[in-house]
Structures are given as C-alpha cells and as structure tokens.
Amino acid sequence: MDDPTERLDPLAPFRWHPEPELIGLRDAATSRDALQRVGEATWEASLDWLYGEALVRGMGLPNDYAALRRAYFGEAGGPGRAPQDPVTLDAVLAEFRARIAPHTLSSYHPRSLSYFTPPPLVASIAGEVLAQWTNQGIDVWHAGPVGAFVEEEVVRWLCDLVGYGPGSFGLCTSGGVMANFIAMALVRDVHLRRLAGLPRPPRGAALEGVRVYTGDQTHFSIARALDELGFPPETLVALPTDEAFRLHPEPVATAIAADRARGLRPVAVCAVAGSTNTGSVDLVPELAEVARREGLWYHVDAAYGGAARLSDRDAARVPGLELADSVTVDPHKWFFQAYDLGALVVRDGEHLRQTFARSPEYYRGGEGSPGAAGRASTPEQAEADEHDPHAGQLNFYKLGFEGTRRFRALKLWASWKHLGTTGLGRLVALNDDVAAYLARRCAESDDLEAVPAVPDLSVVCFRHLPGGAAAAAAMDPLELDAHQDRLCAALEADGDGWLSTTTLRGRAYLRAGVVNYLTTEADIDRLLATLRRLAACL
C-alpha cells in the first residue's frame, strides 16, 4: 500500500541516519547537492593524501609490521566488533585521514620503484569511479549490457596490440595470476585433450606424464595453476636461463626430445616477456618455432612487458607475441591502471568458450561464439542458435573462471581514450630511459653493480658494494646479502624512496621496477645518494 508519508518526505524511511539524503537518493531536489558535497569532500581527502602523504614518503610510518598493526588496531592488537551505529561520511573521511592515509604505500612517490605498482592515471581513477557508480556485472550480458561491449572493445585493442587477427578474443581478469591460470586450463582442456585424442577434457590419471616447459624466471602462477588444475608436481620443467636471465630454444628442444624418449607427453612451452624478477625477455620468436615444430601450445606471459608494444620505439623489445597461442597482459602494471586489471588474449577465441561455456538454469542464452554475435562455430551450434533467441550474446562468465565480474575495462577504456596509444607509449619509453640511466650509473660507479648490466626493459637489479668492488669481493657473501636487506629496510624507514629485494643466482639484490611515469633521472641520482648516505650509517 502506498505510504503518504513517503510521498511527502522521500527520506522518511532513512531518517534513522544522520545523513538520510546520502541513502535515499532518488530525489535530486533533496540529495543532489549533498552528493556533490560528498564528492568534493572525498576528492579533497584524496588530494590531501596525494600531496600531504604520497608525494612526501615512499612508504608510510610505521613501516614495521607489528608496529603498524598497533597503530591501526590500537591496544586491542586486532579487529574489534563491526560498527553498530551510523555516523556521518565526514566522520568516515576523518578516520581515513587519521588511520589509513599516513600509513600507505605510495605509488605516486617518484622514487617508489619496488613492485609493479604504478601511479594510476587520473583517467583510470575517473573510470573506476564511474564503474563503481554504474555497478555493471560483466558476467551475464543482461547484467551489464553496454559494459560487456566496453570490455569487448578493450579486448580487441589488446588483441591488436599483441598482433592477433580476426578470430582472436580474450577477457579481463583480476591480474596475471588469473590470466595464467586460464591459459593453463586451455592447455589442459583444449590442447592436451587434442593431443591425447580424448572424447572429453582430461582429468585424473590422464594428466600424468605431461610436461610443460619454461625458464627459471617464470612467474610462480604457472606452477600454481598446473598444481590447482590437477597436474602432478613434476609437470613443470623449469630450465636454466642465460646470463641475462632469458630462456633460449636449445634447452627446451633438448628437454622435449629427452622426455619423449622416456615416453612422456610434452604439451606446452611457456615463455616470459618481462619477468617480474629481472624484467628479462625470453627469446620469444625462437621458442615459438620450437613449440610449432613440436606441436605444443605456446603461452607467453607478457603481463609486464606486453605494454612495451605501446611504444613504436620500444615495441621490438618484446617481439613475437603474435606467434603465441595465448598471451597474458596486465594493464595494472605498465598501462598505469588502478588495481585490479589483468587480461588474457587468445589467438583462437573459440577455445575460451569450449573450455568454460557451462550454464546453470537461471542463466539462459548467449551460446554463440565470443565476440561474434550470431556466428555459430559448429553445425550443432548453428542448429541450437536457431531455437535460442539469445544466441550470440556475449556472456563473459562462459569465457573464464569467474562468475561475478566487476566492470574492470572502463578505466582502461577511459585511459586509452585520454592518452591514446601514442601517449601511453611515451610513458613506457620514458620508464625504459630512466631504467637505462640507472643501469649506466651503476656501471660507472665502483660501489654499485647491476645484473644484467643492460636491462631488457625497465627493471634494474643492482646492489651496493660497501667500500667499492674490491672490498665487497673480500666480504663474506652472506654478509653482502644481509647488507642489501638492511639497506632496503633503511630506505623504507627513511621514506625518501622504496625498493624491493630479490635473489638472483643465490645472491641478494636490490630491485628497481621502474613503472612510475613521474620518475626522472634526477630522482635516480637522489635515490642513489640516499642509498649511499644510509649505507654509511649501517
């Protein structure tokens, strides 16, 4: 029954809250000005964080785990009860300023060069705000109709960037881990099934004796995916890379021949174009030839390095992506996007539908080929389409693991529109130049050593040599390793920059992952000066 009170006062059902106009927002006359003020206050809090915290320190204080837990949770040392009573949004923003803003990692700080966490472009942030407001579910077409088309468009741009032609397709993911996971599912359910001549996707004992080849710099997610997909631990064969941490075709060909002689079944080669550890790029075209000759699926993890294709100048640093059966690209790395946004693109997009197109009763329609409304892939599909008024709808839940899928593509769509391929490529090239400058400074300095001496992309692994190269050579190697760890921790506490550490050939190194478009050569000089100042006090 119609409630006359609600007609007279649209906020009546929400008067229990101190700001009912921010909940019962149907009436512009009562809510629009309040929403405008909230938007301004939120944006102001964001800018206060940017200029008051993020561009001041690379990492908030305290940077110690236990100390930060105490600072955030208080004397309780852990989470308390959920809040019972409502408060104003100003109070929530005040708590953000006090409890959260001073303690964050800052990807905007120009000397923050640790993990692959770039400062998001303003267009990416704008796209994310719009995505949250519109709240499109990009799983079933009807739950986010135009959102599915935005993702289709962005996927097409990524396919073009990789060099794929018609028939290719893909999807946005949470990141490279999920993209690599989906790629390994295609290896299992499409390629292994085909090689083994099985009537259905292989499971259980059918996964034994299979081999997948990669280099020792491959991302951990390849091994994790194979494990979670039911393959035995020995399935992944990690082969040694060269002095620049790049996988060559000869060790792969030799391993394939040896395994076949033992009665095993080689099924895939996984190359990396921009490893997380060193930024190294495997010999992608040559490995593609081995995979083609041996009849294996070829996957390239270009989560980081694929963005180099945005730059006309630097695209040749990641050659041969178009030769792969599947490619992982992570826009929340070197496309300067806010978390989360990864992607997998596949040369034959039909393989995604073949692997994942299973429907519950409450999701109907959309059985057609991905990205090709109305085009059936088989005679059986064509016959089914004739009786399905929803045939050809683009339902992304049938192309990957996720059911619920957020509107990830909008921020990349907005950023690509705002900067264009040329603009994004300029930022990538700038990072490559800054990384090359850091490597040169290491080569020119007796107290710094970079490995490899010339980076493939924008990752530089280096270490400080206390007292110079000769003195460091006389040190206990474990003590030299510990020096790098102490120096990294001191830099984090100092706040003037942020690096991560890694292990290369058993030795500890500082690692600078330059995906920050605000970083200049002057920032590199200051970072090295800070490291030397801190090292003198260790």
| DSSP state, residue 105 | B
With a CB cutoff of 8 Å and minimum separation 6, the contacts of 40 are none
Res 114: pLDDT:
83
Res 379: pLDDT:
59
Res 357: pLDDT:
86
Task: Give counts: helices (H), strands (E), the chain.
Answer: 18, 11
Res 338: pLDDT:
96
Res 474: pLDDT:
96
Res 351: pLDDT:
97
Q: Is the pLDDT of residue 487 over 90?
A: yes
Q: What is the rounded CA–CA span in Å between residue 449 and residue 221?
A: 30
Res 63: pLDDT:
84
Q: What is the per-residue pLDDT across 31-43, written as a single tens digit (0 to 9) for each? A: 999 999 999 999 9
For the chain, what is the mean pLDDT?
A: 93
Res 344: pLDDT:
98
Res 75: pLDDT:
87
Q: Is 9 exposed, middle or buried (0-12, 13-18, 19+ CB in 10 A)?
A: middle
Res 5: pLDDT:
56
Token code pair at residue 317 = 């640093």
Among the residue ranges 341-355, 363-377, 472-486, 507-521, the one predicted with the least confidence is 363-377
Q: What is the per-residue pLDDT across 126-158, written as a single tens digit (0 to 9) for each? A: 999 999 999 999 999 988 999 999 999 999 999
Q: Determine the average pLDDT of the residues in 474-497.
A: 96
Q: Determine the average pLDDT of the residues in 362-378.
A: 49
Instruction: Give the largest Cα separation in the chain, rounded.
Output: 88
Residue with tokens 């990641």: 318
Question: What's phi and psi for 173, nearest 5 deg?
Answer: -130, 175
Res 358: pLDDT:
76
Q: Determine the average pLDDT of the residues in 448-458.
A: 96
* pTM, two decimal places: 0.93
Q: Is the pLDDT of residue 159 over 70?
A: yes
Q: Determine the average pLDDT of the residues in 197-202.
A: 96
Q: What is the rounded CA–CA span in Å between residue 104 and residue 488?
A: 17
Token code pair at residue 305 = 């390095």
Q: Is 244 exposed, middle or buried (0-12, 13-18, 19+ CB in 10 A)?
A: middle
Res 217: pLDDT:
94
99 within 8 A of 72, measured Cβ to Cβ: yes
Q: What is the per-residue pLDDT across 422-452, written as a single tens digit (0 to 9) for each? A: 999 999 999 999 999 999 999 999 999 999 9
Res 374: pLDDT:
38
Q: What is the per-residue pLDDT across 253-268, written as a single tens digit (0 to 9) for each? A: 999 999 999 999 999 9
Res 372: pLDDT:
45
Res 1: pLDDT:
52
Q: What is the rounded CA–CA span in Å between residue 30 and residue 151?
A: 35
Type of residue numbered 268: A
Q: Is the pLDDT of residue 386 over 80?
A: no
248 within 8 A of 222, measured Cβ to Cβ: no
* Peptide bond connecting 446 to the previous residue in cis, omega within 30 degrees of 0: no
Nearest to 282 by CA among 271, 270, 292: 271
Q: Is the pLDDT of residue 2 over 80?
A: no
169 within 8 A of 155, measured Cβ to Cβ: yes
Q: Is the pLDDT of residue 477 over 80?
A: yes
Q: What is the per-residue pLDDT across 74-107, written as a single tens digit (0 to 9) for each? A: 988 899 999 999 999 999 999 999 999 999 999 9
